[in-house]
Amino acid sequence: MTPETLDKWLIVPRLMMILMSCVYIRSVEWALSQPDLTTQQASLISVITGAMTGSLALFLNKESKGGSNDNTTT
């Protein structure tokens, strides 16, 4: 498989999003299993949620543009 094929099919970004989603789900499950969530633990979940929101937005924006990484405007 050539690097161009990997870029065209977006295999690596899709794998990364799947992995990040699994980690996010596991961290939320962990937080919900705590009998008394501390402020620090709630902050951790909040930061993870914010990071997932940002990365999902970037991923979907790249998907909608056809995966091109060309940001030049002429």
24: its two tokens: 């996010």
What is the mean pLDDT for each group of 10 consecutive residues in the chain (74 residues)? Answer: 82 89 94 94 94 90 64 51
pLDDT of residue 39: 95
pLDDT of residue 64: 67
pLDDT of residue 7: 82
68 within some domain: no
pLDDT of residue 74: 47
What domain count does the chain have?
1
Rounded CA-CA distance 53/61 in Å is 12
pLDDT of residue 53: 93
60: its two tokens: 């979907």
45 within some domain: yes
pLDDT of residue 61: 84
16 within some domain: no
Q: What is the dihedral of CA 17, 21, 24, 29, to 10 degrees?
A: -170
Please give the residue range of the domain that contains residue 50.
30-59
